[in-house]
Amino acid sequence: MRRASTPSPTVTRPWSAFCTNLYQTPIEDVTVRWPESLSPFVTVAKLSLPQQDIGGDNNLERMDATSMSPRRATEEHRPLGSIMRARKEVYRMSSILRRQLNHQDRKKPENLAEVFGEG
């Protein structure tokens, strides 16, 4: 577990390409390659992760009880397209099975304090 700690501060900048034209950059047809001239990659955030020790008391249990879903987003950031609709069910079934195998309750956290135990 301690090896998974961030050894030094880390900065990453995720990119995204945006649909600019439903015919040339369609959301529903994943076989169409989006030309970078129409939809260039854009840096959408800067994530700064401080050096941290993730080996604290109960941390493994808290993280094991946490699940991620792209569906937990505001309406303007909702997932789009057929692939994301398929992922919705895959993520749901994976979460259900994992909770059953680990004898854990499945519930959506209401806030970060429920996930990280901070107040």
Q: Is 5 within 8 Å of 53 (Cβ atoms)?
A: yes
Q: Is 34 within 8 Å of 17 (Cβ atoms)?
A: yes
The per-residue pLDDT for range 11-29, each reduced to its tens digit, is: 999 999 999 999 999 999 9
The per-residue pLDDT for range 23-66, each reduced to its tens digit, is: 999 999 989 999 999 999 999 999 998 887 777 777 777 777 77
Which DSSP string corresponds to 37-93?
TTS--EE---EEE--B----TTHHHHHHT----TTSS-GGG---SHHHHHHHHHHHH
Largest alpha-carbon pair distance within the chain? Answer: 52
